Chains A and B, each alone.
Chain A
Amino acid sequence: MTTVLERPEAAVSPARPAPGRSAQRVSRWQIWAPLALYLLFTLVPFYWMLVFAFRPRGSSSLLPWPITFDNFATVWNDLGFAMFFRNSLMVGLASLVATTLIALAGGYALARYEFRGKRAFMVGMLCTQFIPGAMMLIPLFEIFRTLGLVNSLWSLVIAETVFQLPLSLILISGFIKNIPVELEQAAWVDGCGRLRGFLAVVLPLLRPALVAVGSFAFIHSWNNFLFALMFVNEQEKFTVPVGLSYTLGEFSVDFGALAAGGVVAAVPVVLVFAFIQKYLVQGMSAGAVKG
C-alpha cells in the first residue's frame, strides 16, 4: 500500500524536448492529423448542444445567431431547472464537505498510526470498489425508508459520500505519507498539540489532495442520476440529471429546451474541470494507479 505522489513539477514536464530524442522527433502532422480528428469528435457534440441552446426556435442555422436566451428562460423558469440546480448544488457541496472531512480524519489515521485492524480496513476499502452502485439500489432504498430519508436530499448526500469515501481515503493518506513526519514533530517540539501541528503544518501542504478529493466528490455527486432517480420522487427535490432526463422523455422532444438544460447541467462541472484539469493527471496517478 505505497501510494506515491508525483511532484507537480515532475508531472508537468518542461516543454523542451529531451536531448537524445530530438533526432527522432515525430513530425508535426503525425501529431496534428490524429489530434485534429479526435478534437473534432470531442468538440462537435459540445458545439451542437451550444448551437441548439442559443439559436432561435425553428432556425436550422449551424451558427447560434441571432443569439437568444429564450430556451434558457423556458428551462430555468418553466421546467424547474432553477430548483433542480439549487438541489444539485446543495447535494454536491454537502457531499464535498462530508467526503473531505471524513477522508481527512481517516486518511491521517492510516498514514500516521499503526493500529490493529488497519490492514483489514485497507483491504476492505479496496473491495468496496467492486460493489456496484446500481446493485445497491434495493437495499439502500430499504435503509433510507427505515430512516425516513426517502424523498430527502440527505439520502443522496449519504449515498454519494459513502461511494466516494474509499478512493478519497486512499488518496489523502497517500498524500499525508509523503509529507515528512519530521515536519510535524518539529511543531510538537515547539509546543503544538497533535491537532494544532496538523492544522499548521500538514493541512496547508494537502491543498492539491483536498482539491482533487473535493472536486471528484462534487463532480460525481453533480452527475449522479440513478440514486437521485430512485430515492427522490417529488419534483421539487429533483436534481439536474433527473430534470434533464425528463426533458428527454417526452414524446415530442423540445430540442431547444433539451440543449439549454444540457448547458445548465454542464456549466458547473466544466468550471470545476477547468480548475482541476492540470492536477487531474497527478491525482489519478497518485490515487488510482499506484494505490
Chain B
Amino acid sequence: MARATRTPYLLIAPALIAMLGFLVYPMASVVYYSLQHYNVTKPWDNGFAGLDNFRTLLFEDPLFWQSLGFSVKWVAVEVTLQLLFGLALALIVNETFVGRALSRALVFSPWAVSGVLTTGIWVLLYNPTTGVSRYLADLGLMEYGAAPLADPDTVFSAAVVAELWRGVPFFAILLLADLQSAAKELYEAASVDGASRVRRFFHITLPHLKDAIILSTLLRCVWEFNNVDLLYTLTGGGPAHATTTLPLYVASKAAQAHDFGYGSALTTAAFLILTFFSIAYLRLSKFGAKA
C-alpha cells in the first residue's frame, strides 16, 4: 500500500464528483422537495409545506396504501418464486452432463433482456389471437379467447410469470457462482459417511449458500421493488390500479400530474421503507454469521 498523497484523491475524484452530483445531491433534493408544495402546473401554490405532503400521504391517499400493499405482494411473490426456481436451476446446471455449457447459456439468456422487450414478447404470448392459448385451442385443449392481461382475475399471475421468465436467471447465475466455491471435500466426506443426497443438500449446500441467498434476495427485493419497466408497459398499473406499485405511482405523479412536491414525499417514504427493510432483513437473517 502506498502512502497517502494527492494521487488517490485525484483518481477517485471523477467517481466521487459524479456520484455526489447525480446521486447524493438528487437524493437530498428529494427530501427538500418533499417538504414543499411544488407543482409545475400550479406555480401559485408553490412554497414551504412542512409535513403537509406526508400528512396527505398517510391519511388522505388510499392509492399510497394500495400501491404499497401491491408492491409488497409483488416483491414477496416474485422474489420467493425466483429464488426457488433459481436455486433448482443452479443445482441442475451445476451437475456434470453432456450439453451443460449450452444449457447454461440458454437458460441464463433472459437475464440480458429488458423489461420492455419482456413485455413485447409476453404480449404476443398472451394475446388471444396471437398467443399460445389460440394454438392450444386449435388443438382442442383450451377454449378460444383467453386474454390473461385483460382479466382482473388473471392479470397478476400473468405479470408474475412474465417477470419470472427474466428474473430466475439472476438467482441461478449468482447461486451457481457460489455453489462452485463449495468445497468438494465436504461432499466427498459426507458421501463416504453415507449421507443421502437430501441430507447433503440441507446440511452442506444450504448452509454454504446462506449468505449468498440472503444478499441476493435482498438485492432482488430492492430491485423488484424499484423496477418499473415491466409493469409500466405490460399492464400500465391497471386494470383500475390493480397492479400499480409505489414507484409506478411516483412515476405517474411526476410524469402526468407534474406534482413534484407530493411525488418527492412518496419517494422519501419509499426510500425510508426500503432502508428500514434492508437493515431489519440483514439483522434478522444474521447475515455474515457462521451458519
Report which A residues bind B (CB closer than 8 A).
6, 10-11, 13, 15-21, 23-24, 26, 28, 31-32, 34-35, 38-39, 41-46, 48-49, 52, 62, 101-103, 105-106, 108-110, 112-116, 118, 121, 124-125, 128-143, 158-159, 161-163, 165-166, 169, 194, 219, 222-226, 230, 241, 244-245, 247-248, 253, 255, 258-259, 261-262, 265-266, 269-270, 272-274, 277-278, 280-282, 284-285, 288-289
Contacts and interface: CB of A to CB of B under 8 A. Distances in A.
Contact of A139 (B33, B192, B251): B33
A270 B7 contact: no
B56 interface: no
Nearest to B116: A241
B233 A109 contact: no
Interface of B: 1-5, 7-9, 11-12, 14-16, 18-19, 21-27, 29-30, 33, 85, 88-89, 92-93, 95-97, 100-101, 103-117, 119-125, 127, 130, 132, 135, 165, 173-174, 176-178, 180-181, 184, 187-188, 191-192, 197, 211-212, 215-216, 219, 222, 225-229, 232-233, 247-248, 250-251, 254-255, 260, 263-264, 267, 270-271, 274-275, 278
B109 A270 contact: yes
A169 B19 CA distance: 12
Contacts of A43: 106
Given A134-B250, A162-B22, A259-B120, A102 B191 contact: no
- Classify the interface of chain A: helix, strand, loop or mixed: helix
Given A143-B26, A225-B114, A274 B15 contact: no
A135 B226 contact: yes
Contact of A253 (B23, B123, B135): B123
B247 to A, nearest CB: 4
Contacts of B227: 134
B123 A121 contact: no
Contact of A169 (B15, B30, B107, B135): B15
A42 B271 contact: no
Most buried by B among A10, A32, A62, A194: A32
Nearest to B277: A130
B12 A105 contact: yes
Nearest to B32: A139
A277 B103 CA distance: 12
Given A19-B188, A109-B9, A219-B112, 12 more contacts: A106-B15, A112-B2, A132-B247, A134-B227, A138-B264, A138-B267, A142-B29, A244-B117, A269-B112, A277-B104, A277-B105, A281-B177
B11 A108 contact: yes
Given A38-B107, A137-B250, A105 B11 contact: yes
A45 to B, nearest CB: 5
22 contacts: A6-B180, A15-B96, A42-B107, A44-B132, A45-B121, A48-B121, A110-B12, A113-B2, A115-B9, A130-B275, A134-B228, A135-B226, A137-B251, A138-B250, A138-B264, A139-B264, A226-B228, A241-B229, A245-B233, A278-B101, A284-B173, A285-B177
Closest 3 CB pairs of A and B: A285-B177, A223-B114, A139-B26
Given A16-B96, A128-B23, A136-B26, A121 B178 contact: no
B96 A17 contact: yes
B5 to A, nearest CB: 8
A113 B8 contact: yes
Contact of B135 (A62, A106, A255): A62
Given A24-B191, A138-B33, A219-B112, A130 B105 contact: no
Contacts of A244: 116-117, 120
Contacts of A158: 18, 22
A48 B124 contact: yes
Contacts of B125: 44-45, 48
A48 B275 CA distance: 40
B112 A134 contact: no
Contact of B123 (A32, A258, A280): A258
Contacts of B191: 20-21, 23-24
A245 to B, nearest CB: 5
Contacts of A38: 85, 89, 92, 107
A24 B96 contact: no
A28 B97 CA distance: 8
Contacts of B21: 143
Contacts of B24: 124
B182 to A, nearest CB: 11
A49 B192 CA distance: 49
**Which of B14, B29, B117 gathers most chain A CB within 10 Å?**
B117
A241 B270 contact: no
Contact of B19 (A109, A162, A224, A225): A162
